[in-house]
Structure 1
Amino acid sequence: MSDGKGAPTPDLTRPKSVRAHDAVLQATRELLQEGGLPAATVDEIARRSGVSKATIYNHWPSRTAVAAEAFGGQMADAIPLPDIGSATGDLTEQARRVAAFYASDAGTVFAQLLAAGTTDPHAGEYFRDFFLVGRREAIRTLWDRARRRGEVRSDVDVETAIDLLFGPLIFRLLSGHAPLDADAAEAIADAALHGLLAQDTAK
């Protein structure tokens, strides 16, 4: 039986299987914190967790998929949602928090996993499922809150809004071409929320 990501579905109703699964994720989190994705090899994960390589590959299709699940589970609540009271305030503050996250050591691991997903399709799926989906759902909460208050355009799709607001931060993280700090986050949020064209040319 497969989980759809290339690995057999582990039977997590069995205590031994659950313990092995959790031990692997914990060991992987420690390795990611210590040395990023390069440190989280299957050999090292197996050594630290005490779980065999065969069992690891029975649960995950690749070591990057293990890392993506471990990272996503740890970072799911790493960026709490603000509730300032306005769309501009909430989304700008969220952009600041996301920028600070990307500028941290965790942001380095995020970039490594994002890059790895371009060559390892299984890792990309795990990364989306265990990290990106949750983060985008959180931002959807802010957008829906603003839409109920009539503060944002109802015809703008939330996925488009998320990409406009936060995509530039990821690009800066990956390219390093410009600062990734609170001022940059505010400038990007302002441009996304209020537009780039001068008022008299916006029509």
Structure 2
Amino acid sequence: MAGAGWTAPGVAETEAARPQRPRSVRAREKVLEATDALLTEGGLPAATIDAISVRSGVSKATIYKHWPSRTAVAAEAFGQRMSAALPLPDTGSAHGDFSTQARLVSEFYGSPAGAVFAQLLAASVTDPDAAVFFRAFFLAGRRRAIGELWQRALDRGEVDPDIDVEVAQDVLFGPLVFRLLSGHAPLTPELADQIADAALHGLLSDTARDR
């Protein structure tokens, strides 16, 4: 349940983007650090507002001043962790970059962090306010990063410029999320390579395909 003092933000107007006093900034940092530790220890069920407050030393009232719910706090903390865990590759080719990135994402989803991601995704379906934070701090950052890989490939003439980058990202990485959530197939490096190859066969330009 959202705190009484919290106002729903736009994706680009979250508390993190607003000027704040150093004390407020430090409180946010302590809350995010505590939440990340709780997620690592026990997933989303462990990251209750009570537990976050005790672990961080920040009052529940202050937490609710910055976030509408525990899922929103968890989404921001988890988004920061994934940004650090998945650096962008730079292999010099579209096929190398996207194949390497698919392997990294697959490995991440196949780790205990993947279970946390699935929990956050499911919780955001029934918590619209938290979904804003999930998109802003997790999805938006990942999609911007993959957009950099796509732009490199465009600059090298290796991908079809008529394909929208958003569509390309969904084709490349959507299957990994589906495998994580459905459990119908394992998340292995070999299968990540197969998914990337299948997607890129239709995404590479004729010039790159002939190389």
User: TM-score, with normalisation over the residues of structure 1?
Assistant: 0.89
Matched, 1:4 2:24: no
What's the offset of the Cα at 1:9? 5.0
Partner in structure 2 of residue 62 of structure 1? 69
Correspondences of 1:42-191 after superposition (within 5 Å): 42-191=49-198
> Quick one: which amino acid aligns to residue 128 of structure 1?
R
State the shift of 1:87 in Å.
Answer: 1.0
Output one character per residue of 1:161-185: Cα deviation in whole Å (capped at 9) or x when no partner: 0000000000000110011111111
From the superposition, tell whether residues 149 and 9 of structure 1 become closer, same or farther in structure 2 (CA, over 3 Å). closer
Within the alignment, does 1:14 sit opposite 2:21 as a pair? Answer: yes
- Aligned partner of 1:35: which letter? G
1:113-138 alpha-carbon deviations (Å, 9 max, x no partner): 11111011111110111111111111
Alignment RMSD: 1.9
- Could you give the per-residue CA deviations for residues 52-74 of structure 1, whole angstroms, max 9, x where no partner exists? 11111111101100111111122
Match of 1:200 in 2: none
| TM-aligned CA deviation for residue 3 of structure 1 | 5.2
- The worse-fitting range, judged by mean Cα deviation, of 127-136 and 156-165 is 127-136
8 Å contact 1:2–1:9 — kept in the other structure?
Answer: no
Which deviations, in whole Å up to 9, do the C-alpha atoms of 1:94-152 show, x marking residues without a partner?
A: 11111001101111111111111101111111011111111111111111111111111
Offset of 1:45 from its aligned partner? 0.7
| C-alpha separation in 2, matches of 1:87 and 1:48 | 43
Identity across aligned pairs (percent)? 65
Aligned partner letter, 1:81: L
Q: 2:45 aligns with which of 24, 38, 45?
A: 38
8 Å CA contact retained: 1:99, 1:181:
yes
How many residues matched?
194
Q: Distance in 1 between matches of 2:101 and 2:179?
A: 16
Moved over 4 A (4+): 8-12
CA contact (8 A) 1:23 1:49 kept: yes
User: Which residues of structure 1 form unaligned runs of 5+?
Assistant: 196-203
Opposite residue 82 of structure 1, the aligned amino acid is P
Could you say what secondary structure the match of 2:84 adopts? coil
Is residue 2:31 matched to residue 1:24?
yes
